[in-house]
């Protein structure tokens, strides 16, 4: 059962979404509201698994609402505006749905939620930290501070804060243990933390290039370009 809250200022849109969600018996709507202050109180009390969250709310936008939470549940953003897609991945975002929401896109979003909740027991989440040793240097690194991983044969170069370290683990290993809602495999050689993307640039042959907040630019393979376009609702 996915305990969910709908936060949307339009009562009509809330009713439409509730109606659409009736075909998903695994989704249990425990509350709905159009008031962000009420939403914060409900979230803190109920501790839901999932939020269906509009960005434009009266008095406080969806991002500001999330910033006030001690623990952010999984989030599906529902909005009529596509320009916030990149920023949305600074949070615990599962999907970004553009209104009007289609049944197919909603179904895909619910599948992603189920996969995410199923896998969380077996992954490193943002609250975890790992011990990294590189020669004489040792660090306890929070997962949220890792912004790039790069394959170096049987090793992986891990970039975090202003440091980088070579770890005797394959990139495939990291892909299997990191949260794929936060860490994205851009190509055969690299994995990026979506929260550190500053800009998405159209590139040659329909591909994309990602500019990270550190200034590093990452080319996305043609195969992965389709996936990231879907994630950001391009």
Q: Does 219 lie in the same domain as 154? A: yes
Q: What is the CATH number of the domain that holds 216?
A: 2.40.50.1020
User: pLDDT at position 119, please?
Assistant: 65
User: pLDDT at position 234, please?
Assistant: 52
* The pLDDT of residue 125 is above 80: no
Residues 133-155: pLDDT tens digits? 777 788 889 899 999 999 998 78
User: pLDDT at position 127, please?
Assistant: 58
User: pLDDT at position 3, please?
Assistant: 95
For residue 198 the two structure tokens come to: 């500053």
For residue 6 the two structure tokens come to: 């709908």
How does residue 92 score in pLDDT terms, banded at 50, 70 and 90?
confident
For residue 3 the two structure tokens come to: 């305990």
Q: Does 152 lie in the same domain as 41? A: no
Burial of 160 (0-12, 13-18, 19+ CB in 10 A): buried
Q: What is the CATH number of the domain that holds 14?
A: 3.40.50.2300
Distance between CA atoms of residues 55 and 32, nearest Å: 15
Residues 102-117: pLDDT tens digits? 999 999 999 999 987 7
- Where among 87, 122, 157 does a domain terminate? 122
Q: Does 97 lie in the same domain as 21? A: yes
Q: Does 143 lie in the same domain as 112? A: no
Q: Domain range spanning residue 198?
A: 129-231
User: pLDDT at position 169, please?
Assistant: 84
Q: Does 84 lie in the same domain as 182? A: no
Cβ–Cβ < 8 Å for 72, 91: yes
User: pLDDT at position 154, please?
Assistant: 79
Residues 13-71: pLDDT tens digits? 999 999 999 999 999 999 999 999 999 999 989 989 999 999 999 999 999 999 888 77
Q: Does 148 lie in the same domain as 45? A: no
When divided into structural domains, the chain yields a total of: 2
User: pLDDT at position 150, please?
Assistant: 96
- Where among 97, 122, 147 does a domain terminate? 122
Residues 160-206: pLDDT tens digits? 999 999 988 888 888 878 888 889 999 989 999 999 999 988 888 78
Q: Does 173 lie in the same domain as 154? A: yes
Cβ–Cβ < 8 Å for 32, 4: no
């Amino acid at each position: 059962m996915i305990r969910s809250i709908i936060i949307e200022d339009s009562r009509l849109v809330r009713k439409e979404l509730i109606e659409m969600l009736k075909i998903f018996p695994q989704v249990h709507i425990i509350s709905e509201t159009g008031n962000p202050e009420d939403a914060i109180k409900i979230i803190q009390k109920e501790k839901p698994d999932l939020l269906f969250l509009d960005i434009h709310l009266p008095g406080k936008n969806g991002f500001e609402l999330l910033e006030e939470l001690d623990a952010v549940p999984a989030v599906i953003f529902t909005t009529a505006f596509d320009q916030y897609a990149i920023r949305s991945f600074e949070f615990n975002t599962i999907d970004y749905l553009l209104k009007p929401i289609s049944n197919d896109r909603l179904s895909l979003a619910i599948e992603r939620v189920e996969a995410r909740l199923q896998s969380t027991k077996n992954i490193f989440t943002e609250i975890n930290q790992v011990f990294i040793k590189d020669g004489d240097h040792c660090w306890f690194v929070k997962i949220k501070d890792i912004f790039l991983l790069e394959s170096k044969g049987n090793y992986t170069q891990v970039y975090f804060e202003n440091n980088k370290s070579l770890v005797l683990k394959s990139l495939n290993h990291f892909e299997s243990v990191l949260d794929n809602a936060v860490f994205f495999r851009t190509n055969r050689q690299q994995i990026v933390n979506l929260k550190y993307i500053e800009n998405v640039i159209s590139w040659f042959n329909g591909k994309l290039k990602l500019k990270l907040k550190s200034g590093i630019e990452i080319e996305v393979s043609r195969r992965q370009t389709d996936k990231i376009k879907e994630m950001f609702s391009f």
